Amino acid sequence: MSVAPVEGTAAKARAELPDHAPHILIVDDDRRLRELLARFLSEQGFRVTAAASAAEARTRAQCFVFDALVLDVMMPGESGFDYARSVRETSRVPILMLTARSNPNDRVTGLEIGADDYLPKPFEPRELILRLNNIIRRHAAAPEPRPEGEGAVIFGPFTFRPDRGELKRDSETVRIAEREREILTILSQARGGNVDRETLAGNGGFAAERTLDVQINRLRRKIEPDPANPSFLQTVRGVGYRLVVD
């Protein structure tokens, strides 16, 4: 059976799917299975990103916020169990484990480390869809609490606390430099309004404004899925910048 490449299929699906379509990360070292799952899930209305290893999955997770993980247990190097355990240290994202093993102890292990469901291979594709929808629905019904406090600003998966100078992506702290913290504080105080370049640059005139561009680009790499097409830290032509808040 010939299968279209994942990238082409995913790109086509992204162009046709609505923005609110659930985004799924598939982590499996079996290329054929990744492609089959990616195509099937895309046809069922999901956005799909694929990774061949835990290391590649971490790279993908730096760029996107996922609604669920479909995670293979048996992978070379870091196993699915190990990766799921590390994910659970900082995130409540729903995890569906896939495995060819029939040992019930493996299912218990997966659930003990925080997986939401477990599906042995081979499986019926329709069952995968049902299980995915169930864990996503359960997760949405009990959303992860976000830090509260006066002045807290939320944009996408991020929460910034100007009083603490603290930026978090869901429950995970994002490391930012002192100058990036100052820029976020100024933008947060504007609550979505435009902030001119001079205010963000501070003292230093033209040289400081040129440095500002570098600092903005660095900050975008930490908070934007696509830094070249920013969704949160937007340029306002002829004025400066603004932070698009929820």
On whether both 96 and 42 belong to a single domain, the answer is yes
Which range among 86-90, 106-110, 230-234 shows the weakest confidence by mean pLDDT? 106-110
On whether both 76 and 13 belong to a single domain, the answer is yes
What pLDDT shows up at residue 69?
A: 95
Determine what percent of the chain is predicted with pLDDT higher than 70.
Answer: 82
Domain boundary among 141, 176, 202: 141
Report yes or no on 231 lying in a domain: yes
Q: How many structural domains compose the chain?
A: 2
Q: Write the pLDDT tens digit of every residue in 5-14.
A: 343 444 444 4
Domain boundary among 115, 141, 167: 141
Domain boundary among 87, 118, 141: 141
The secondary element (H helix, E strand) that includes residue 38 is: helix 31-43
Residues 6+ apart with CB under 8 A from 113: 81, 84, 85, 88
On whether both 135 and 159 belong to a single domain, the answer is no
What pLDDT shows up at residue 207?
A: 46
Of residues 70 and 205, which shows the higher confidence score?
A: 70
Specify the pTM. 0.54
Give first-to-last CA distance, the chain, whole Å.
45
Strand-strand pairing, 172-173 and 68-72: unpaired
On whether both 114 and 229 belong to a single domain, the answer is no
On whether both 161 and 113 belong to a single domain, the answer is no
Average pLDDT for the chain? 82
What CATH number does the domain containing 236 carry?
A: 1.10.10.10
* Structure token pair of residue 233: 């830290």
Cα-flanking dihedrals φ and ψ of residue 5, to 5°?
Answer: -55, 145
Place of tokens 């993908």: 60
- Domain of residue 206: give its range: 153-243
Contact 24, 66 (CB under 8 A): yes
